[in-house]
């Protein structure tokens, strides 16, 4: 496949030919008998890892196998929020690595992923929230991650629809704002990585479900069984989100993961009305507006573990009563579509990007509700880990073993419980 | 009467004219009109502009599937609703509607330039450009794109309307009140079932409301509907809901219904709810959701005046409106002919019929031919003309050579199209039922159900009226819990029609210069679909996301199947293999307010107030939210700010006596022969050796060994413990206890009862506390020997039976009086009066925090954060060493829990004796660092200590207990603050005061 660069000029040129000369953005590959590295899972994390393996580590034969269509899992189901103002230095380093990659991603991939640094504002509603977010602000400042404290009036100035009436049930007492945070176009991330990887020779094999992981006499990974036949592989990296525990169990590896439905919804499109991302952990809702004009709204996971990509009605009701409380002018808008994904959650709510006990088998999982923002960073570090058979310093703390030895990175706990 | 309104017929009330406005122009309609029918009756076809190309758009359908005619309806500034389908908006006197997505006016819209530049904007163009220069994305490209996108304008004022919610249960829920639905409801009711039937329209009847020809049980369709509706309404076990959309199908037959209550009224009662959201749990569900007529995809098919044949027929027969004077029908079904015949009977000139099928026979085409209408077989459409309304259509005959012969242009002012019927399987699919492709029907039909559900009528392919009714009767009877009555029979007759229809673009469409639209609202054309497949987007989900096909507010009701067929043809694959996009709730857009319902303001989350709340409010207390509770934070006296008030309150408690409302503390009574063992296993402390009448500070960890909650636990009897928790922690502690009781230790005989709201808790703290209480407490000896620190006794408190606990969170001699909540205020007032002589002072949570910090007592959730073990918090003395197990014990033995550099609770004092540290500020070993800094901890609590006269702070610092006396640094934006590491106990380290 010849390289076709994307630009305003190429668009103009090909418009003259009725856009008949565009080629597939990525090759539709049949599985070859053997690869150096096979990535299981064709979401942003998996496709990105394949891209970085090819682009930065010069691995020769790479494939990504995907049981459905690429970008069809959580990559295409999330609310596209990107930020890095995490509390612990380990997390902040991980997510900020990602934000830095986001900042150049459209140019690196020659694919407009529409990374929009609109600012992510996290609202504080109680004295306890204020303490927690100020701790974040201090920790981030010392780590070199931007995050600033806003008074309610400053928050309102940044986000005019916000209701800062002190008499509402949980008044806004302030907000932590990360200006470098924002949103991106989720599908474009998968497609952009797929296209760039494909141009570097990576085989992207859709409709190919892994049914077995083959190991040699020493226990080392030697290949995969799939619905499209056997594939030999020197190394296998699994990046399968909600299905990761199921895939890893094929190699006898048990992971401390639980899978939950996570829902999101969009309103009908309206003209620009919401300039940033606003999140409220206390009253469980977050909101932004897409380029298309939809208000994109989400909240926490459903309460029960499940593999169905849908959730319960009352979760949406609670999400929307929170949104209507904070933004009462949106009460008349209408839900256009609701959907669900499956998120894989670890006991400390931080991911695993690590080697597994099986030589040659690597895993990137446990992103819970926050995986999209980490896509480039996660992919980049996973590729490093696979290529070097050792973690990069940034992902070194994110091991499987931490759940045994107790070196947890507990962001959820750090958000702390109300007292 | 306008010239497009028929002289008679229809379901409108010709005696009631209604004035309304569209874009400021005054028109007149009739009661019973929709906004769409009223506009058409006034000859208005141009009603909106499309999303991307800003093309002039008209009214395509007569129902919920409308992709094109979106308007805003404004009642007043705060009651403006964007993106409503004109086909669903019921007319009322004074209705004020506005077109959308146009500037400066609907007729002259500068956005139209996008249409001329459309070669530059094919599907997915934005992925390929706007990347240079990088900074321009945020500053130029994205703002421009955003302004161009979006449809209507969101309201800017809070919505004053109310929304209601309710729950219902029934034996059979019938969704849809067309012929099949009505038959199903009647049949189920016959069998004695509790039936609910809902329909999104303003009246029941569905397709029958526009049918002039059918006869049912010997009556006209309209007469039969009236009788059926009357029968159902009279039935005591049937609930009928009009204007009610079943928008979502959730697990276990939970159906969400959105009922619109006031949008059709010209003057709704001020307090009337605008919508009501129903959550219906149905034993069985009958889906009689009908089918949606499909447009044909031909060049120029989006001009105003081009509409579905069934819609034109509905406007004529139901609303008495002729959609034009000269119409052309383009069809692939017999049903389309019915519209042509009806229009002709109403005096409309039917200029011609272009039928895509090679040979046309059957009852309806024969009738059309008999009426002298010219029918062209093997026809196709090459294009249309007209600017703001269709003015002509060019048709041709497809020849075996694949070219258009007999090319003719017909002048017309409306084009009707009928491409077949797409069963509405949305709810069935939402229920996780499996669809199967039917070649016979050229449609996906319900196959295996996942719930106790049955589809009936057109939504499962039974489009013939008699078959639909028979199917409905069977479904209704089958779904009833019992079958006792004889089966009802209904005979129906309507002209037979063959309606397999046509999928995809008409022949030669791709050669035309005009655009052939598949998705009207999102301006997706056959060329866009071709580009998508060319670029490798072949899964229908990829095509959808790349082209945005089916992602508009209509969610592709009229477009998805055509798109699927076009993609299948492009990649030469059978339709089922291309897949089907997932159907998601809601079926049609559903108001946020209906989901939120009454949950607003104080009802957003219940407000919990203590019995003393009103007194505190009257005393001028400032409150804070803690969990759901309102807690008094401080009691300012005249002119005091928080700082001054807290300093005064602190001094009073340290020097005399303070009164504090601790009623919000969580309280759980743990009772039973296994109670002590239960707490032994759950909390880290030992309980077996706690004597009756004694209290102990308990720590609860999670399985990971980190502190989850804490509180004083009193042993009231051998088998009865009074457990207190943090204010916010009570529900989760009770849930955790129940979890362990029910799933881990079902062997223990123990019962748990939340008693949080049974007791008011009044803390009396300070050196004079005992003296104050002497006059209040009867029946026990308050002396230290009789009632030492950490003991509990039943007593009469101001005449009320209660518990006196000698406990202290202030470090002073202290008591907590527990009295039944109803007596809380009385006792509070009595104690307050009794303490007046001692200068008793009310204090709030802020003072409580300062006092406890001076003593180094932690607040779970402030000084701990879910990563702190008992030892980290300096509480290892509390852990029962000899216990075989407790929750978290195993985790506490992990390697990292023993590490010497774990963060430990310490005190910090600023070296300058002045600087109040920021809570949350970080702690560093070395000064003058630049980011990223090496940090060793953070400040958890920081206050000005009134009694010590200096600022104090608690902090979690790595290896902190080994650092006493060390200097550390707090890096602040303005420079480092030097601090000394000290013991976390700042005041009365020997505990002499507490034991006084």
CATH number at residue B375: 3.50.50.60
Domain boundary among B419, B446, B466: B419
Give yes or no for residue A309 having a pLDDT over 90.
Answer: no
In a domain, B928, yes or no: yes
CATH of the domain at B540: 1.10.10.1100
What SS3 class is residue B214?
coil
CA dihedral B327, B332, B335, B337 (to 10 degrees): 40
Which member of B120, B602, B897 has the closest CB to residue A169?
B602
Q: Which residues pair with B528 in a beta bridge?
A: none
pTM of the complete model: 0.96
What is the distance in angstroms between the CA of the first residue and the CA of the last residue of chain B?
A: 96
Is residue B793 situated within a structural domain?
no
For A72, which of B129, B138, B541 is closest by C-beta distance? B541
**Does A417 have pLDDT greater than 80?**
no
> Would the CA dihedral through A174, A175, A179, A183 be positive or negative?
negative
For residue B263, the chain A residue with the least C-alpha distance is A332
The pLDDT assigned to A414 comes to 61
Confidence of residue A17 (pLDDT cuts 50, 70, 90): confident
Contacts with B, A 287-326, CB within 8 Å:
289, 291-293, 308, 310, 312-313, 316-318, 320-325
**Same domain assignment for residues B267 and B190:** yes
Instruction: Say if B542 is an interface residue toward chain A (CB within 8 Å).
Output: yes
Q: Taking phi first (over 0 means left), then psi (-120 to 50 degrees means alpha), and beta for anything else, what does residue B192 get?
A: left
d(CA B102, CA B121): 19
Minimal Cβ distance to B553: which of A128, A268, A324 = A268
Among B106, B138, B158, give the residue marking a domain's end. B158
Interface subset of A 234-253, CB within 8 angstroms of B = none
pLDDT for residue B824 is more than 50: yes
- A397/A248 Cα distance (integer angstroms): 20
Which residues neighbour A338 within 8 Å (Cβ) at sequence distance 6 or greater?
A263, A264, A265, A316, B248, B584, B585, B586
Q: Please, which residues have CB within 8 angstroms of residue A417's CB and are 6 or more apart in sequence?
A: B708, B728, B729, B732, B860, B861, B866
pLDDT of residue A416: 46
Q: Which domain holds residue B924?
A: 898-996
Distance CA B23, CA B49 (A): 13
Co-location of B331 and B411 in the same domain = yes
Partners of residue B589 in chain A, C-beta under 8 Å: 267-268, 334-336
* Confidence class for position A282, pLDDT limits 50, 70, 90: confident
Q: Say yes or no: B443 and B413 in one domain.
A: no
Find all residues with CB under 8 Å of B576, minimum gap 6, and list them. B437
What is the rounded CA–CA span in Å between residue B343 and residue B341?
A: 5
A113 pLDDT above the threshold of 80: yes
Distance between CA A147 and CA A154 in Å, rounded? 14
Interface residue A13 vs chain B (CB under 8 A): no
Selected residues 183-202 of chain A with any CB under 8 Å from a CB in chain B: 185, 187-188, 191-192
- What is the rounded average pLDDT of the residues A92-97? 96
Selected for mutation to probe chain A from B123, B128, B159, B522 (highest A CB count within 10 Å) is: B128
Q: Report if residue B403 sits inside a domain.
A: yes
B307 and B188 inside one domain:
no
Beta bridge partners of A261: A342
Helix (H) or strand (E) holding B189: helix B179-190
| pLDDT class of A4 with cuts at 50, 70, 90 | confident
In a domain, B593, yes or no: no
**End of a domain among B419, B439, B473?**
B419
* CA contacts within 13 A on the Cβ side of B193: 31
**Are B9 and B152 in the same domain?**
yes
Average pLDDT in chain B: 96
Same domain (yes/no): B70, B173: no
**Burial category of B436 from C-beta neighbours within 10 Å (exposed 0-12, middle 13-18, buried 19 and up):** exposed
Nearest CA-CA partner of B904 in B954, B859, B943: B954
Residue B1: its pLDDT value, please? 62
Cα separation of A326 and A172, whole Å? 9
Together in a domain, B398 and B438:
no
Beta strands in B266-413, from DSSP E residues, in sequence order: 273-287, 291-293, 306-308, 326-331, 349-355, 375-376, 379-385, 392-398, 404-411
* Predicted pLDDT at B544: 96
Question: Out of B112-126, B278-292, B629-643, which region has the weakest mean confidence (pLDDT)?
Answer: B112-126
- pLDDT, tens digit (0-9, with 9 covering 90-100), for B501-535: 999 999 999 999 999 999 999 999 999 999 999 99
What's the pLDDT at A1?
Answer: 45
For residue range B323-353, what is the model confidence (pLDDT) as tens digits?
999 999 999 999 999 999 999 999 999 999 9
Could A15 and B119 be called an inter-chain contact, meaning their C-beta atoms sit closer than 8 Å? yes
- Distance between CA atoms of B796 and B198, rounded to whole angstroms? 61
- Considering only CB atoms, A19 lies closest to which of B122, B127, B156, namely B122
Sequential DSSP letters for A88-111? SHHHHHHHHHHHHHHHHHHHHHTS
| B146 and B235 part of one domain | no
Among the partner-chain residues B83, B534, B862, the one whose CB lies closest to the CB of A131 is: B862
Q: What pLDDT is recorded for position A298? A: 94
Q: Which letter does DSSP use for residue B726 in this model?
A: -
**Among the ranges given (A2-16, A210-224, B586-600), the one the predictor scored with the smallest mean pLDDT:** A2-16
Three-state DSSP at B557 gives coil
Residue B63 lies in a domain: yes
One domain for residues B5 and B134: yes
B525: tokens are: 């054309």
Q: CB–CB of A22 and B535 under 8 A?
A: yes
If pLDDT is split at 50, 70 and 90, which confidence band does A415 have?
low
Is the torsion defined by CA of B459, B461, B464, B465 positive or negative? negative
| B602·A143 Cβ contact <8 A | no
Q: What is the mean pLDDT of residues B106-117?
A: 91
Beta-bridged to residue B405, according to DSSP, are B397
Paired sense of beta strands B195-198 and B162-175, if any? parallel
Beta-strand ranges (E) seen in B112-268 are: 162-175, 195-198, 215-216, 219-220, 238-241, 244-250, 254-260
In a domain, B480, yes or no: yes
CA angle (B37 as vertex; B31, B42 as ends), nearest 5:
95
Q: How many helices (H) and strands (E) does chain B have?
A: 24, 52
**Domain count for chain B:** 6
Shared domain check, B520 and B440: no
Mean pLDDT of chain A: 94
The mean pLDDT of A180-205, rounded to a whole number, is 98
Residue B537 — left, alpha, or beta (φ > 0 → left; ψ -120 to 50 → alpha)?
beta
- pLDDT band at residue A308 under the 50/70/90 scheme: confident
Q: Considering just the CA atoms, what is the radius of gyration of chain A in Å?
A: 21
The verdict on a CB contact (< 8 Å) between B147 and A292 is: no
- pLDDT of A311: 85
Domain membership of residue B3 (yes or no) is yes
**Contact map slice: B 568-607 vs A, CB within 8 A:** 582, 584-586, 589-593, 595-597, 599-602, 604-605, 607
Please check the confidence at residue A419 and state whether its pLDDT lies above 50: no
Question: Does any CB of chain B come closer than 8 Å to the CB of residue A39?
Answer: no
Chain B positions touching A143 (Cβ under 8 A) are: 931-933
In this prediction, residue B363 carries a pLDDT of 92
Distances (CA, A) of B671 to B122, B716, B720, B820: 71, 10, 4, 19
Asked if A22 lies within 8 A of B51 by C-beta distance, the reply is: no
Residue located via tokens 């012969």: B405
Helix or strand (DSSP H, E) at B228: helix B221-234
Segments in A180-331 forming alpha helices (H): 186-199, 244-249, 313-326
With beta carbons less than 8 A apart as the criterion, state whether B649 and B658 touch: yes
Residue B826: which residues within 8 A CB-CB, separation 6 or more?
B798, B800
Q: Residue B38's domain is classified under what CATH number?
A: 3.10.20.440
Instruction: For residue A377, give the nearest of A83, A122, A87, A68 by alpha carbon.
Output: A83
Chain B residues with CB under 8 Å of A270 CB are 82-83, 150-154
For residues A250 and A84, the answer to whether their CB atoms sit within 8 Å is: no
Q: Which residue has the tokens 């509180």?
A: B711
Instruction: Say yes or no: ipTM exceeds 0.95.
Output: yes
Q: How large is the average pLDDT for residues B354-368?
A: 94
**CATH classification of the domain holding B713:** 3.30.70.1400
pLDDT tens across A231-247, in order? 999 999 999 998 999 99
Q: How far is A369 from chain B, CA to nearest CA, in Å?
A: 19
Q: Are residues B459 and B563 in the same domain?
A: no
Q: Give B713's contacts (C-beta < 8 A, 6+ positions apart).
A: B679, B683, B687, B690, B695, B696, B697, B698, B721, B722, B723, B724
In a domain? residue B179: yes
The CATH number of residue B943's host domain is 2.40.30.110
Task: Establish if B391 touches chain A: CB-CB under 8 angstroms.
Answer: no
Answer whether B131 sits within 8 Å of A134, measured CB to CB. Answer: no
Instruction: Say whether both B963 and B875 belong to one domain.
Output: no
**Helix-helix angle A186-199:A44-55, to 10 degrees:** 30
Chain B CA closest to residue A128: B862
Pair A299, A280: CB distance under 8 Å? no
Give the pLDDT of residue B760: 98
């Amino acid at each position: 496949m010849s390289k076709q660069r994307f630009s305003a000029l190429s668009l103009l040129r090909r418009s003259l030919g009725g856009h008949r000369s565009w080629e597939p953005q990525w090759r539709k590959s049949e599985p070859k008998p053997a690869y150096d590295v096979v990535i299981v899972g064709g979401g942003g994390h998996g496709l990105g890892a394949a891209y970085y393996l090819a682009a930065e580590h010069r691995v020769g034969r790479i494939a990504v196998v995907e049981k459905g269509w690429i970008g069809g899992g959580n990559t295409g189901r999330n609310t596209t929020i990107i930020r890095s103002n995490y509390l612990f230095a380990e997390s902040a380093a991980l997510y900020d690595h990602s934000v830095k990659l986001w900042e150049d991603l459209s140019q690196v991939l020659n694919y407009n992923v529409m990374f929009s640094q609109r600012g992510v504002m996290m609202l504080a509603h109680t004295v306890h929230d204020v303490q927690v977010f100020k701790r974040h602000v201090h920790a981030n400042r010392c780590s070199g991650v931007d995050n600033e404290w806003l008074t309610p009036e400053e928050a309102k100035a940044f986000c005019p629809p916000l209701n800062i009436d002190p008499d509402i049930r949980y008044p806004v007492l302030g907000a932590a704002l990360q200006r470098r945070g924002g949103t991106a176009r989720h599908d474009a991330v998968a497609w952009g990585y797929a296209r760039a990887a494909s141009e570097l020779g990576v085989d992207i094999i859709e409709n190919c479900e892994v049914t077995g992981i083959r190991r040699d006499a020493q226990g080392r990974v030697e290949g995969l069984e799939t619905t499209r036949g056997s594939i030999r592989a020197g190394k296998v990296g699994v990046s399968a989100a909600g299905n990761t525990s199921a895939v890893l169990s094929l190699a006898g590896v048990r992971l401390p993961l639980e899978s939950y439905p996570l829902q999101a919804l969009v309103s009908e499109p309206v003209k620009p009305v919401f300039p940033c991302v606003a999140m409220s952990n206390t009253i469980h809702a977050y909101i932004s507006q897409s380029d298309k004009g939809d208000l994109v709204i989400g909240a926490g996971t459903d309460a029960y573990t499940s593999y169905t990509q849908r959730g319960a009605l009352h979760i949406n009701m609670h999400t929307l009563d929170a949104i209507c409380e904070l933004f009462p002018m949106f009460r008349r808008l209408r839900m256009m579509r609701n959907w669900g994904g499956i998120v894989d959650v670890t006991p400390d709510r931080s991911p695993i990007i690590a080697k597994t006990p099986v030589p040659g088998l690597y895993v990137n999982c446990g992103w819970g509700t926050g995986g999209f923002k980490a896509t480039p960073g996660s992919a980049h570090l996973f590729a490093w880990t696979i290529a070097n058979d050792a973690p990069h310093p940034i992902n070194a703390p994110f091991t499987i073993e931490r759940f045994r030895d107790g070196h947890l990175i507990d962001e959820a706990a750090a958000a702390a419980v109300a007292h | 009467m306008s010239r497009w309104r028929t002289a008679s017929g229809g379901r409108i009330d010709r005696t009631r004219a209604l004035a309304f406005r569209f874009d400021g122009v005054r028109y007149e309609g009739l009661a019973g009109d929709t906004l769409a029918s009223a506009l058409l009756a006034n000859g208005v076809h141009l009603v909106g502009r499309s999303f991307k190309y800003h093309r002039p758009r008209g009214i395509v359908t007569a129902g919920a599937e409308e992709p094109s005619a979106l308007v805003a309806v404004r009642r007043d500034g705060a009651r403006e609703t964007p993106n409503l389908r004109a086909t669903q908006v019921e007319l009322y006197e004074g209705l004020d509607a506005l077109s959308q997505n146009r500037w400066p006016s609907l007729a002259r819209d500068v956005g139209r330039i996008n249409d001329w530049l459309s070669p530059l904007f094919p599907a997915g163009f934005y992925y390929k450009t706007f990347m240079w220069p990088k900074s321009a994305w945020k500053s130029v490209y994205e703002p421009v794109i955003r302004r161009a996108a979006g449809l209507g304008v969101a309201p800017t004022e809070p919505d004053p309307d109310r929304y209601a919610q309710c729950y219902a249960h029934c034996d059979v829920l019938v969704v849809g009140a067309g012929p099949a639905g009505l038959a199903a409801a009647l049949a189920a009711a016959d069998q004695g079932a509790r039936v609910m039937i809902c329909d999104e329209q303003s009246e029941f009847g569905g397709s029958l409301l526009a049918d002039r020809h059918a006869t049912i049980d010997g009556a006209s369709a309209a007469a039969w509907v009236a009788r059926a509706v009357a029968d159902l309404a009279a039935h005591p076990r049937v609930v009928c809901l009009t204007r009610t959309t079943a928008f979502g199908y959730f697990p276990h037959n939970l159906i969400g219904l959105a009922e619109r209550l006031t949008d059709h009224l010209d003057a709704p009662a001020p307090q009337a709810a605008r919508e009501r959201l129903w959550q219906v749990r149905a034993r069985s569900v009958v889906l009689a959701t009908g089918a949606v007529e499909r447009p044909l995809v031909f060049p120029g098919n989006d001009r105003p005046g081009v509409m579905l044949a069934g819609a034109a027929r509905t406007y004529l027969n139901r609303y008495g409106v002729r959609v034009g004077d000269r119409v052309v029908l383009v069809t692939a079904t017999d049903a389309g002919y019915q519209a042509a015949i009806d229009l002709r009977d109403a005096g409309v000139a039917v200029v011609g019929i272009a039928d895509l099928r090679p040979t046309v026979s059957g009852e309806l085409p024969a009738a059309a031919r008999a009426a002298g209408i010219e029918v062209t077989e093997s026809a196709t459409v090459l294009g249309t003309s007209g600017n703001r309304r269709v003015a002509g259509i060019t048709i041709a005959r497809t020849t075996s050579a694949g070219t258009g012969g007999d090319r003719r242009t017909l002048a017309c002012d409306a084009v009707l199209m009928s491409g077949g019927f797409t069963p509405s399987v949305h709810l069935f699919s939402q229920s996780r039922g499996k669809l199967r492709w039917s070649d016979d029907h050229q449609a996906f039909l319900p196959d295996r159900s996942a719930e106790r559900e049955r589809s009936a009528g057109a939504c499962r392919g039974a489009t013939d009226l008699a078959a639909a009714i028979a199917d409905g009767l069977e479904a209704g009877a089958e779904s009833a819990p019992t079958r006792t009555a004889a089966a009802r029979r209904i005979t129906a007759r309507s002209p037979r029609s063959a309606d397999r229809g046509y999928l995809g673009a008409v022949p030669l469409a791709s050669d035309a210069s005009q655009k052939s639209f598949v998705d009207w609202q999102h301006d997706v054309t056959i060329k866009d679909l071709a580009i998508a497949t060319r670029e490798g987007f072949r899964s229908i989900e990829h095509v959808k996301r790349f082209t945005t096909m089916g992602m508009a507010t209509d969610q592709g009701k009229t477009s998805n199947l055509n798109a699927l067929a076009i993609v299948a043809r492009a990649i030469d694959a059978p339709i089922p293999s291309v897949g089907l996009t997932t159907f998601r709730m809601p079926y049609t857009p559903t108001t946020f307010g209906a989901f939120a319902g009454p949950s607003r303001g104080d009802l957003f989350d219940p407000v919990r107030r203590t019995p003393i709340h009103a007194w505190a409010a009257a005393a001028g207390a400032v409150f804070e939210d803690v969990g759901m509770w309102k807690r008094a934070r401080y009691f300012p006296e005249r002119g005091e700010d928080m700082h001054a008030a807290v300093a005064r309150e602190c001094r009073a408690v340290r020097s005399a006596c303070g009164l504090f409302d601790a009623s919000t503390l969580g309280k759980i009574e743990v009772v039973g022969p296994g109670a002590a063992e239960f707490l032994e296993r759950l909390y880290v402390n030992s309980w077996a050796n706690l004597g009756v009448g004694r209290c102990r500070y308990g720590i609860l960890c999670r399985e990971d060994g980190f502190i989850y909650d804490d509180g004083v636990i009193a042993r009231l009897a051998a088998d009865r413990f009074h457990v207190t928790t943090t204010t916010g922690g009570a529900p989760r502690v009770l849930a955790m206890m129940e979890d362990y009781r029910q799933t881990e230790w079902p062997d223990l005989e123990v019962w748990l009862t939340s008693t949080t709201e049974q007791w008011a808790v009044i803390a009396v703290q300070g050196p004079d506390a005992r003296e104050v209480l002497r006059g209040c407490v009867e029946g026990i000896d308050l002396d230290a020997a009789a009632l030492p620190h950490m003991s509990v006794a039943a007593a009469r408190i101001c005449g009320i039976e209660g518990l006196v606990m000698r406990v202290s969170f202030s470090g002073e001699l202290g008591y907590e009086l527990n009295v039944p909540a109803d007596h809380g205020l009385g006792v509070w007032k009595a104690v307050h009066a009794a303490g007046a002589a001692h200068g008793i002072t009310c204090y709030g949570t802020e003072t409580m925090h300062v006092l406890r910090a001076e003593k180094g007592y932690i607040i779970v959730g402030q000084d701990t954060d879910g990563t702190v073990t008992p030892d980290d918090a300096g509480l290892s003395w509390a852990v029962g060493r000899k216990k075989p197990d407790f929750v978290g014990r195993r985790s506490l033995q992990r390697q990292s829990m023993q590490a010497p550099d774990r963060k430990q609770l310490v005190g910090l004092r600023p070296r300058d004796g002045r600087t109040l540290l920021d809570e949350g500020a970080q702690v560093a070993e070395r000064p003058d660092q630049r980011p990223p800094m090496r940090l060793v901890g953070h400040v958890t609590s920081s206050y000005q200590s009134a009694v010590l006269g200096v600022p104090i702070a608690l902090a979690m610092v790595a290896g902190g207990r080994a650092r006493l006396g060390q200097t550390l640094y707090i890096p602040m934006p303005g420079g480092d603050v030097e601090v000394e590491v000290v013991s976390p106990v700042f005041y009365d380290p020997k505990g002499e005061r507490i034991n006084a």
